[in-house]
Amino acid sequence: MFPFRLLCACMNKKKKNALVAGATGSTGKHLVRQLNASSDYDNIIVVHRRETGFAHLPKVTEIILDFDTLESGLNTGVQIDDVFCALGTTMKKAGTKQQFRKVDYDYVIALAEWAKQHRAHSFTVVSSIGAKANSPFFYLKTKGEMEERLKRLELPVLNIMHPSILEDPEREDHRTAEKISLGVMKTVSALMPPLLKKHKPTPVWMLAHAMLMVSQKDEKGVHYYLTDDIHGLGKK
């Protein structure tokens, strides 16, 4: 028989409100769908610079916003518990290093500062395997500097996801080089010893599910989730 106290606790469990930035990206779109289907959330606030196509979902409220004015312009109308940041671009789309850094660093930090100011419980962000502030590679250096700045904000809960190359069958703009890389990584990871399998491709739906899972934890502080962690959480 199900214990009465546990039954009452489940019935009285407070549902949460989530905010998602980067909802139209490969990971973000899966995350919004999973949050909308989750019984843990009442409201999903999607913040984007243009319409996302998610406004028809029952729990989703769409806020169209220029991220340059995020600090003063973002008013959700509800207390946000969990903030999910899947913001990211490519050098090809950005055009310049300055524009790339604006999306992958400036906007991420602005969102985190907003989260702290508005007392969100957790902030979960997609970074990258190999991210280091002293990396000679611009992409990894930017991600590493972003992580270091986030840690200095001392958010209540900071979850940093370190996936390997992302795999998204739904993506329409697959680049040839990316397809080749995915094929090589799949083949090589199957032959690699366990220690090196951290480089195996990560399906975006799995990364999204892992982000949802870690946001349910109540452990304060900074938490890193590597590829193997993401695969383990994503399969639960």
Domain edges within the chain: 14-171+202-234
pLDDT at 210 over 60: yes
Residues 159-164 have a mean pLDDT of 95
Residue 7 has a pLDDT of: 42
Higher per-residue pLDDT: 14 or 108: 108
Residue 187 has a pLDDT of: 45
Residues 197-207 have a mean pLDDT of 82
The percent of residues in the chain predicted with pLDDT above 70, rounded, is 81
Q: Across all residues in the chain, what is the average pLDDT?
A: 86
Residues 184-193 have a mean pLDDT of 47
User: What is the pTM (predicted TM-score) of this model?
Assistant: 0.85
Per-residue tokens: 186:
């799949």
Per-residue tokens: 113:
């500062």
- Cβ neighbour number for residue 220 with a 10 Å cutoff: 12
Per-residue tokens: 11:
């019935």
Domain made up of 14-171+202-234: CATH architecture = 3-Layer(aba) Sandwich (3.40)
CA dist., res. 20 & res. 93, Å (int): 21
pLDDT at 23 over 80: yes
pLDDT at 206 over 70: yes
Residue 143 has a pLDDT of: 97
- Helix, strand or coil for residue 21? strand
With beta carbons less than 8 A apart as the criterion, state whether 87 and 46 touch: no
* E strand or H helix that includes residue 17: strand 16-21
Residue 180 has a pLDDT of: 40
Residue 159 has a pLDDT of: 98
Tens digits of per-residue pLDDT, 37-86?
999 999 999 999 999 999 999 999 999 999 999 988 899 999 999 999 99
Residues 146-172 have a mean pLDDT of 90
